[in-house]
Chains A and B, each alone.
Chain A
Amino acid sequence: MSAQPKSRIPVTKTPKVYIGGAFVRSESARTFKVTDRSGAFFANIPQCTRKDLRNAVEAAAKAGPGWARRTPYNRAQILYRLAEMIEARSGELVASLVQFGARRADAEKGVAVGVDRMIHYAGWADKYAQLLGSVNPVSSAHFNFTVPEPMGVVGVVAPDSPPLLGLISMIAPVIASGNTVVALASETVPYPAVLLGEMLATSDLPGGVVNLLTGFRKELVPTFATHAQIRAIYASAGPDDRKALRLGAAASVKRVRFSGTEGAAWLNDAAQGLERIGDFVELKTTWHPIGA
């Protein structure tokens, strides 16, 4: 007679951040403890440092030219593929949002809107240039045209809430035009961002295009503000962080935009659109001679 087998001990996952296409711990080996809605221990999350941020910027800068050179159609398909990955694992995302305090209906709605939002921007990738650019009727023998180009590395500071939809909504318009991103996830509910990293890794998105950090705003915002290689900031931030980001941005004439969207408003169609792509492109005007 054999003894009754013990119930199986689950294999828990070590949450890691997604930098340069790899899953890594903080270089500092620091973590912070995250508990679920019941107060039970959930996991140790990487407490990323300024050095991690700099590494992520390096990865983003390296990935930038290749991503920007992809055809718009190709970027569109990769964003669409990312939406497919999120949809396929939406149950897991909903469960994690619920685990950290969201109501199930809200979590389901948030994930669904996140998928739809990704598709929205996938569709923009090969269209925005026609609307933001122009052919300009100058008074001389020149073919004069304006095209939008990516800015380069964009720093995203995502809202604490909603932890997943806010992050997706801020990353998608920035990468749709060929920028690369270093994003700081929700400080209070960081784990959904870790899951999103796993979906990014399986979505054909080249490594380094999106880099996700977890950690504390007060430690990382100053470096987001002053890092000269970050050419633009897209942040969900209160007055103090807004000021800090603008002050740091002055040193390298960085572009700074704030999401201006709060809470449930992230669910609305108004939280997406062409102007959010337009905020993270440079406009280049070329004068091409017309002659024999």
Chain B
Amino acid sequence: MATPNKNAAPGRGLIFGDLWEFDPAPETADPRLKARYDLFIGGAFVRPRSGRTFDTINPATEGKLAEISLAGAADVDLAYRAAARAFPSWSALHGRERGKYLFRIARLLQDRAREFAVAETLDGGKPIKESRDFDVPMAAAHFFYHAGWADKLEYVAPGRRVAPLGVVGQVIPWNFPLLMLAWKLAPALAMGNCVVLKPAETTSITAMKLCEILQDAELPPGVVNIVTGAGETGAAVMGHPLAAKVAFTGSTEVGKAIMRQIAGTDKKMTMELGGKAANIIFDDAPIDQAVEGIVNAIFFNQGHVCCAGSRLLVQESVADRVVAKLKSRIRVLRVGDPLDKNTDLGAINSREQLATIRRLVASGVREGAALYQSPCVLPQKGFFFPPSLFTGVTQSHRIAREEIFGPVLSILTFRTVDEAVEKANNTAYGLSAGVWTDKGSRILKMSTELKAGVVWANTFNRFDPSSPFGGYKESGFGREGGRQGLLDYASTT
């Protein structure tokens, strides 16, 4: 894929990627895909009443992977009725026993981890090393963590009694399909709720495969129901009268539409929306380590990350050095076959997303920022975009304000701590931020000032089931993970 490069950076630097070719190293585990996936309602796989299906494709090849059922309003209604029927006995079950089901799910997922990783990579386009080492193990960890909460709920809200809400409707995005499903299901179930969940239309496969695990775990029928489809199905899931709460992860635009859709109801809500995170590099930071952190912050999962460090703020005195190192670093990022174990950036999730990225990158060029792209050769088929960065970005540029959700970094500079804070907070979003400095006191000062739900110091894109995640401002509200996330699935009296 990578050909010897005629524009190699001069001087010292990471040039090994230009010197020799890697042999292909594809992951060969069998993803055990079915040709057709039905809906999962009331503990059974059922054909959609709508009678309609759609294809899910591999974004790296554009080849069809499977046929997915398109749930209509009647199917969503069936799912809610099944969930409502399951709720009385599920919520009355002793927490210790509910927890055992979740422990089982975690274990069964670990058993089939490689198979799920390959399926995730095929359906979504992310590099196998990420689905294998991050998505799937982290999904299992979320089930395991929340399993342990189920019999300890009296500790969740001091001085109050907690109770489940009832049936919860959940809609999740395509960037971390299985992991987002785990973030949503695990706390809801641990608290004793029942669920109707819709995966994103481009990434339904691992959700449907998880239903096989739910069956193997003998989870009571109706406790979890999964309906597949696109926006219309999602609106039906969010708006259903039986939903006591809805939880959504996705774009701020759709989040706002959901808020309007259910404004006349008293449904509880959790919204995990977009971001435009500042990743702030001070001049005393360990620069090599910071450069690796910048790369991870923006190119992890092709930049399809709501908390991605998409705005780099570099202190002026080290800006030239950081940018030079970044440029030579992204030249050697390997872009291509997501199933190859050496691939750093896989496929863009969909043709639509690729078009969005191209449109915003074009606006950056038009507005006068300087674009640098890795000269890597992209595969002929499939949806790919080279690692890209913009220098000379100002705060008014669209690429500094709007979420690109792709492998595109916008670089700005600052001189003082106050200016860094000011620029970092100058956004409608507030999901995450990064701080790179050698000074512990500065880390805590920055963390105090930054209006963001998660602040990473000398690291980025780290997650843990025990660590609450969620946004300020237009990045949404509610938390996922930790005691705080669990509480968002409870009523208190």
Contact = CB atoms under 8 A, between A and B. Distances in A.
Nearest to A260: B266
A274 B453 CA distance: 21
A5 to B, nearest CB: 62
Contacts of A142: 459, 462
B492 A253 contact: no
Contacts, number: 111
Interface string A159-201: 0000000000000000000000000000000000000000000
Contacts of A249: 259
A131 B484 CA distance: 10
Interface string A212-245: 0000000000000000000100000001001100
B484 A146 contact: yes
Contact of A285 (B158, B458, B459, B467): B467
A287 B455 contact: yes
B108 to A, nearest CB: 21
Given A136-B466, A285-B455, A275 B263 contact: no
Interface string B245-256: 000000010011
B468 A146 contact: yes
A273 B492 CA distance: 11
A272 to B, nearest CB: 11
Interface residues of A, number: 34
Contacts of A136: 464, 466-468, 482
A146 B160 contact: no
Nearest to B482: A136
Contact of A134 (B257, B474, B483): B483
A264 interface: no
B472 A252 contact: no
Nearest to B428: A252
A254 to B, nearest CB: 9
A39 interface: no
Nearest to A287: B456
Given A144-B464, A253-B273, A289 B492 contact: no
Contacts of A246: 259, 262-264
B462 A284 contact: no
Contacts of B458: 289
A27 interface: no
B131 interface: no
Interface in A123-139: 131-132, 134, 136-139
Given A138-B464, A285-B453, A146 B477 contact: no
B259 to A, nearest CB: 4
B457 A283 contact: no
Contacts of B462: 138, 140, 142, 287
Interface string B479-490: 100111000000
A204 B466 CA distance: 40
Interface stretch (B89-97, B217-225, B440-448): B440-448
A146 B479 CA distance: 11
Nearest to B459: A287
Contacts of B469: 285
A134 B482 contact: yes
B271 interface: yes
Contacts of A255: 477
A45 to B, nearest CB: 31
Nearest to A248: B263
Given A274-B158, A283-B453, A285-B454, A252 B443 contact: no
A131 B156 CA distance: 10
A287 B453 CA distance: 11
A145 to B, nearest CB: 9
Interface string B401-443: 0000000000000000000000000001000000000001001
B474 A252 contact: yes
A284 B477 contact: no
Nearest to A250: B259
A252 B475 CA distance: 10
Contacts of B263: 243, 246-247, 250
B51 interface: no
Interface string B143-158: 0000000000000011
Interface residues of B, number: 48
A236 to B, nearest CB: 14
Interface of B is mostly: mixed
A137 B157 CA distance: 19
B159 interface: yes
A265 interface: no
B260 interface: yes
A146 B482 contact: yes
B192 interface: no
B476 A253 contact: yes
A286 interface: yes
B185 interface: no
A253 B484 contact: no
Interface in A252-280: 252-253, 255, 273-275
Interface string B37-50: 00000000000000
Given A284-B453, A287-B462, A289-B459, A247 B447 contact: no
B36 interface: no
A33 interface: no
A138 B264 CA distance: 39
B482 A286 contact: no
Q: By CB atoms of chain B within 10 A, which of A139, A247, A274, A287 has the most? A: A287
Contacts of B260: 247, 250
Nearest to A148: B484
B473 interface: yes
A288 interface: yes
A274 B252 CA distance: 30
Nearest to B160: A275
A144 B484 CA distance: 14
A185 B169 CA distance: 36
A123 to B, nearest CB: 13
Q: By CB atoms of chain A within 10 A, which of B255, B444, B467, B492 has the most? A: B467
A224 B444 CA distance: 34
A144 to B, nearest CB: 5
Contact of B252 (A138, A139, A253, A285): A253
A275 B454 CA distance: 22
Contacts of B252: 253
Contacts of B264: 239, 243, 246
A186 B66 CA distance: 60
A246 B265 CA distance: 9
B452 interface: yes
Contacts of B386: none
A284 B457 contact: no
A274 B444 CA distance: 26
A283 B467 contact: no
B447 A286 contact: yes
8 contacts: A139-B141, A144-B464, A253-B273, A255-B477, A274-B158, A284-B453, A284-B472, A287-B467
- Top 4 A-B pairs ranked by shortest CB distance? A250-B259, A246-B263, A138-B464, A247-B263
